[in-house]
Amino acid sequence: MLPYGRQCIEEDDIAAVTEALRSDYLTTGPRVAAFEKDLCEATGAAHTVVCSNGTTALHLAALAAGLGPGDTAIVPSITFLATANAVRYTGAEVIFADVDPQTGLMEVAQAEAALARATVRPKAIFPVDLAGQSADLPALKKLADRHDMKVIVDACHSLGAQAYGQRSGDCAYADLAVFSFHPVKAIACGEGGAITTNNAEYAERMRVMRSHGMKPAPDVGPWAYDMTEPGYNYRLTDIQCALGLSQLKKLDRFIARRRELAALYGAALAGLILGVVTSVAGAYTNEGSNQLFALGLLALVV
């Protein structure tokens, strides 16, 4: 059996985690801020907020965008269930959009069709970087601006990818972008997630909401805090961030290896697959970052 995915953990990764275990911090400590800083440098975004996994990252992004009961959001019908579930966690409703049959991506035509079906104007749209590919974000952002929608990119498959002259997660054509550090993704933290944004208010709200909704109250005392609304325990630990920091240094190498693997499978299975799977496998050799997802699609079809 070919595994769904296999992480690459090396001796320097183990040493980084061991050092964290011997430090004063196991939960939130200096490695959390360091990992956020390095992710800003890797993506080009102004702010990064790390959290416990990709699903909680999607939820925090939806909250930052103001989704709530009575709202709707457009989500492509081909994606992992967490993309739609994050919308529902806020109390908002999901409007599913079709995808391009050659790429599996929601493009402007499919988003417009979903808009035409909506009885309530959608508040946000969630393009998904399926298998590391990127939809036409410049065009989707223009559509979103015309209809006063926020753009939240599910970029869980595309850390390190580039498309339309932009790095994945730089938020040049999005309000927020979401990443996952599950072992089948480009880098692994065991579990982990992150949201990038260029909006300081969004970043601050997500930092508060990932830690129970607490805000420090230093005028009262060093351990005092206020809670303006109920939040969540969505924090990422220093232990996980130690692994993430080590893994992030190898991102370019990991992507190159995944492209090699996708090219091998694409050549070996040429003529046996049709449609979207062929397109996905080909996209990896250009700018995608998560070949193992494509390999899973190839295996499913064959």
What are the catalytic residues?
Answer: 185
> Which stretches of the chain are assigned E, i.e. beta strand?
47-51, 72-76, 93-97, 124-125, 150-154, 162-163, 166-167, 176-180, 193-197, 214-216, 225-227
Angle at 143 between CA 276 and CA 164, to 5 degrees: 55
Measure the CA–CA gap between 289 and 156, rounded to whole angstroms.
Answer: 10
Phi-psi category of residue 169: left, alpha or beta, with phi > 0 → left and psi -120 to 50 → alpha: left
Measure the CA–CA gap between 189 and 159, rounded to whole angstroms.
Answer: 14
Backbone φ, ψ for residue 113 (5° rounding):
-65, -40
Does residue 96 contact residue 73 with C-beta atoms inside 8 Å? Answer: no
Token pair of 9, please? Answer: 């953990």
3-state helix, strand, coil in the chain (%, to 5): 40, 15, 45
